[in-house]
Amino acid sequence: MLGIRTFTGAACAALLATSAALAQVPPADEKNPNEALPEKHAYTPYGEPIKLDQARKAAEAALAESTKRGWAMCIAVVAPSGDLVYFAKMDDCQYGSIAIAQHKARAAAKFRRPTLVFERLLGRGDYFSYLATLDDVIASRGGNPIVVNGKIIGAIGVSGGTGTQDDVISQAGLKAAQ
């Protein structure tokens, strides 16, 4: 007991000695790419939200591709805010995919990037594990923003197969929306 107290006291004294304001922050790791400060902020702007007919067209193309390949999928199309515009669950698609398809679409819209970005970066390891702590992220491919005339009008999310199967179907829907 005495040993632990002594150690805690010494650790506190050391931290206080370095900087009172940053007492809790560990030192920067120079190899961490997140320490860099980019000059510019590159992103695709949001546009007018996708119309139902457009969303349905994208989903129908995705459904047709799934049927052709014999895969049972869930397809979700959302507005830029991530709110549902169109959804379809194919017969016998797993129940878990109902929520995942919507989540992938929502994340792609809300973060303006394919969910594959999160999957790949998390896969790189420690420096990117913080991504899993961001609100409403899903690190699984199959969610893609729908970009028309340089603007994001919504996103499409697919779930039901493996990640790569989901993404192939998502891309098929994407193509029909453009």
Partner 1 sequence: MKMRPMLTLEDCKKISAAAEAEAKKNSWNVCIAILDDGGHLLHLARMDGATPANARIAVEKGRTAAETRRSTANWQERVGKRVELLRMPGVTPVQGGLPIVLDGTCVGAVGISGVQSHEDEQIAAAGIKALG
Tokens (6 digits) for 114: 């394919």
Minimum separation from the CB atom of position 12 to partner 1 (A): 47
- Our CB check for partner 1 shows the closer of 116 and 160 to be 160
* Backbone CA torsion sign across 110, 74, 85, 147: positive
- Kindly state the smallest distance separating residue 86's Cβ from partner 1, in Å: 6
Collapsing DSSP to helix, strand or coil, 89 comes out as strand
174 in Cβ contact with 144 (< 8 Å):
yes
Contacts of 10 (CB under 8 A, 6+ apart): none
Residues that bind partner 1 (CB under 8 A): 51-52, 56, 63, 79, 81, 83-91, 95, 98
Q: Judged by CB, which is closer to partner 1: 23, or 84?
A: 84
- Using CB atoms within 10 A of its CB, is residue 1 exposed (0-12), middle (13-18) or buried (19+)? exposed
Cβ proximity to partner 1: between 87 and 127 the closer is 87
Minimum Å gap between C-beta 87 and partner 1 is: 4
Shortest Å, Cβ 141 to partner 1: 22
Strand-pairing partners, residue 74, are: 89, 159
Residue 49 CB, shortest distance to partner 1, in Å, is 9
CA distances from residue 31 to 27, 150, 160 in whole angstroms, order as listed = 12, 34, 38
Measured from the CB atom, the residue of 89 and 113 that comes closer to partner 1 is 89
Judged by CB, which is closer to partner 1: 75, or 139?
75
